[in-house]
């Protein structure tokens, strides 16, 4: 007859110690909150900051820029494309972290 092994319990955490967040879980929640907070900023960011927010959000949520650059008369579309293209190769988690940090700087 086989005996059942009981799983060992993890050692108790020291008082005041923070548990490590599950990989990506905490960052994903912070990113989602920052995406909501940016809509509630007291002051509207300048255009350069808006482009930075846009490009970091797109890099974090979709990865590297896709498709052709908008035509030369689509100034806003071209600026957005260029800002996002500058982040090519940036890891999604890094983009999320930078986005969250930027929103915090802006008071979000």
Q: Does the 43-105 domain belong in CATH 3.40.50.720?
A: no
> pLDDT tens for residues 51-96?
999 999 999 999 999 999 999 999 999 999 999 999 999 999 999 9
Token pair, residue 23, equals 């990989």
From the list 97, 89, 108, the residue with the least C-alpha distance to 45 is 108
> pLDDT tens for residues 8-34?
444 444 444 443 444 556 999 999 999
Specify the pTM.
Answer: 0.75
CB 100 within 8 A of CB 34: yes
């Amino acid at each position: 007859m086989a005996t059942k092994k009981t799983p060992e319990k993890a050692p108790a955490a020291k008082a005041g110690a923070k548990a490590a967040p599950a990989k990506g879980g905490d960052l994903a929640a912070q990113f989602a909150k920052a995406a909501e907070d940016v809509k509630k900023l007291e002051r509207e960011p300048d255009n350069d900051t808006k482009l930075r927010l846009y490009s970091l959000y797109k890099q974090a949520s979709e990865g590297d820029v896709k498709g052709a650059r908008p035509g030369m008369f689509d100034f806003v579309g071209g600026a957005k494309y260029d800002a996002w293209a500058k982040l090519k190769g940036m890891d999604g988690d890094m983009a999320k972290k930078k986005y969250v940090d930027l929103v915090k700087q802006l008071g979000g």
